[in-house]
């Protein structure tokens, strides 16, 4: 009898030890690790997480944050060997999260965030169907969590970002939204993300910098409000010196918003100590910015990107830019060398990479004057670009595509300099002559006119221009231009 009692006692102790309650404890050490990872100080974050696992083995948050670190390296660096090694970690982490208390808002949220991150990574590795189902599952988990815990604002951060984007998916990727069965509006989605940023609750403050990251990209690429982005960055004093993720973000936004000098300044003045993760993408951005400014050392950074990047996205475009660098300097041996590499390296998942491949296959080089004007304009050096074109006329360019590009480039320069009437004149000429051609100039001109009329609050003309952009078929950059035009129509209709 005594033996049975001792066995029962031992069994109860064993069950109690093995069945210890798991927790989601975002304690001070986990917060420090999260902050380090969000700054891309991944080794520092890993050390803190290892200590937390040792001291508090029942805390699930360190395993959740491990996924953030893997997400950033896989998403930015696209190393197939690292992906093959780490892709199986998702199942283990989800299993751990499922072992936590179901009455915690982190129970479903951590599972959703892990699935969302792996969905984004899988897109980079061309596993589209798997990516779609991961994002769909993440969306469903977030919606369920929102019903259970409506005051848990991290739900709003991810749901708002998703819903902002879903309503603007272009025709070429409509299969994604159809499969996901999800719809969203820009207005509602942005408000949800804004709630996280504005809230002073403890959990909102914890995730605020991540919310700021999503917000800035959505504000620029979906809402098309670049000035609001710069105001936001200054208002919230986003640290681009000691936060590598913010430095990359601001420089990337600068690259896409004609602010090359600012982007170069951010990347050259950031803290580049060894504590930060190596991200070859930074060389792509810096090389592009310097090429726009026509710096002598632009090739150095583009070459570093090509040599160190192990992925496929942006590689064709990077090679194209490097070929342009040598082409503009008359070194045709080097120019042709890098153009030929476009044929075999990288992929065509982005419109820019598709265009780089198309240009390489054509065997034709762009008009040097128009190329210089384009680069200067892309960098925000509008007076210098205008000097190259202002005394020219369409008849000075022998090819039809050059005549159309001339009109578009001049219109774009006037547009960026605030000379809207001159811009509209050149844009209209571009649409008239280029609407049925494969070059993207007419569609982009229609989009830009939509922006001008939207700014003037002429909603009817703005919508007409956006629809004109959508109606043009078979041109370059179709998906990305359609997405922006759809976003414009949504803004006008209160979506």
pLDDT at residue 56 in the model: 97
Assign residue 285 a region (left: φ > 0; alpha: ψ between -120 and 50; beta: otherwise). Answer: alpha
Residue 61 lies in a domain: yes
Summarised one tens digit per residue, pLDDT across range 41-59 is 999 999 999 999 999 999 9
CB-CB contact of 362 with 439 (8 Å) = no
pLDDT at residue 187 in the model: 87
Total domains in the fold of the chain? 2
CATH number at residue 482: 1.25.40.10
Distance CA 174, CA 157 (A): 24
Residue 207 lies in a domain: no
Residue 319 lies in a domain: no
Summarised one tens digit per residue, pLDDT across range 252-310 is 999 999 999 999 999 999 999 999 999 999 999 999 999 999 999 999 999 999 999 99
pLDDT at residue 169 in the model: 64
CB-CB contact of 31 with 37 (8 Å) = no
Residue 158 lies in a domain: no
Residues of the chain with pLDDT under 70: 1-19, 167-183, 495
Four-residue CA torsion sign, 411, 417, 420, 422 = negative
Residue 33 lies in a domain: yes
pLDDT at residue 167 in the model: 65
Residue 230 lies in a domain: no
Residue 269 lies in a domain: no
Q: Print the SS3 string covering the chain.
A: CHHHHHHHHHHHHHHHHHCCCCECCCCHHHHHHHHHHHCCCHHHHHHHHHHHHHHCCCECHHHHHHHHHHHHHHHHHCCHHHHHHHCCHHHHHHHHHHCCCCCCHHHHHHHHHHHHHHHHHHHHCCCHHHHHHHHHHHHHHHHHHHHHCCCCCHHHHHHHHHHHHHCCCCHHHHHHHHHHCCCCCHHHHHHHHHHHHHCCCHHHHHHHHHHHHHHHHHHHHCCCCHHHHHHHHHHCCCCCCCCHHHHHHHHHHHHCCCCHHHHHHHHHHCCCCCCCCCCCHHHHHHHHHHHHHCCCCHHHHHHHHHHHCCCCCCHHHHHHHHHHHHHHCCCHHHHHHHHHHHCCCCCCCCHHHHHHHHHHHHCCCCCHHHHHHHHHHHHCCHHHHHHHHCCCCHHHCCCHHHHHHHHHHHHHHHHHCCCHHHHHHHHHHHHHHHCCCCCCHHHHHHHHHHHHHHHCCCHHHHHHHHHHHHHCCCCCCHHHHHHHHHHHHHHHCCC
pLDDT at residue 281 in the model: 97
Residue 439 lies in a domain: yes
Domain boundary among 150, 178, 195: 150
Domain boundary among 150, 167, 189: 150
Domain boundary among 106, 123, 150: 150
* 363, two tokens: 């065997």
Q: Tell me the sheet residues that pair with 59.
A: 23
Q: Residue 425: give the domain boundaries.
A: 368-494
CATH number at residue 56: 1.25.40
């Amino acid at each position: 009898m005594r033996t049975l009692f001792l066995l029962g006692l031992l069994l109860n102790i064993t069950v109690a030890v093995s069945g210890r309650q798991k927790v989601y404890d975002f304690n001070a050490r986990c917060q420090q690790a999260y902050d380090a990872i969000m700054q891309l100080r991944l080794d520092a974050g890993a050390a803190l997480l290892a200590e937390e696992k040792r001291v508090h083995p029942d805390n699930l948050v360190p395993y959740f944050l491990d996924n953030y670190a893997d997400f950033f390296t896989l998403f930015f660096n696209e190393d197939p060997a690292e992906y093959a090694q780490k892709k199986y970690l998702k199942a283990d982490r989800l299993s751990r999260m499922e072992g936590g208390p179901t009455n915690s808002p982190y129970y479903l949220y951590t599972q959703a965030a892990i699935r969302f991150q792996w969905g984004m990574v899988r897109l980079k590795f061309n596993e589209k169907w798997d990516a779609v189902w991961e994002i769909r599952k993440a969306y469903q988990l977030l919606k369920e969590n929102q019903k259970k815990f409506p005051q848990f604002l991290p739900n709003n951060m991810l749901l708002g970002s998703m819903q902002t984007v879903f309503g603007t998916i272009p025709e070429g990727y409509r299969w994604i939204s159809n499969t996901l069965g999800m719809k969203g509006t820009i207005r509602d989605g942005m408000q949800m993300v804004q709630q996280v940023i504005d809230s002073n609750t403890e959990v909102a403050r914890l995730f605020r910098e991540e919310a700021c990251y999503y917000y800035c990209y959505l504000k620029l690429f979906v809402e098309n409000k670049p000035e609001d982005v710069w105001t936001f960055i200054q208002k919230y004093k986003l640290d681009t010196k000691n936060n590598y993720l913010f430095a990359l973000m601001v420089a990337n936004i600068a690259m896409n918003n004609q602010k090359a000098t600012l982007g170069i300044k951010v990347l050259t003045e950031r803290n580049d100590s060894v504590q930060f993760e190596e991200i070859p993408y930074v060389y792509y951005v810096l090389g592009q910015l310097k090429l726009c400014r026509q710096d002598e050392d632009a090739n150095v950074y583009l070459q570093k990107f090509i040599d160190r990047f192990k992925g496929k996205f942006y590689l064709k475009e990077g090679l194209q830019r490097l070929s342009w660098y040598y082409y503009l300097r008359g070194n045709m041996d080097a120019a042709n060398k890098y153009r030929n590499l476009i044929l075999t390296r990288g992929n065509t998942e982005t419109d820019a990479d598709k265009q780089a491949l198309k240009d390489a296959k054509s065997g034709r080089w762009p008009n040097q004057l128009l190329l210089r004007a384009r680069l200067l304009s892309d960098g925000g050096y509008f007076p210098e670009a205008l000097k190259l074109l202002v005394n020219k006329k369409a008849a000075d360019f022998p090819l039809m595509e050059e005549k159309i590009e001339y009109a578009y480039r001049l219109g774009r320069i006037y547009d960026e300099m605030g000379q809207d009437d001159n811009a509209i004149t050149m844009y209209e000429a571009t649409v008239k002559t280029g609407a049925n051609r494969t070059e993207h100039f007419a569609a982009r001109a229609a989009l830009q006119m939509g922006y001008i009329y939207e700014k003037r609050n002429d909603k009817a003309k703005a919508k007409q221009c956006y629809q004109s952009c959508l109606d043009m078929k078979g041109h370059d950059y179709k998906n990305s231009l359609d997405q922006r035009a759809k976003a414009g129509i949504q803004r006008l209709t209160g979506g």
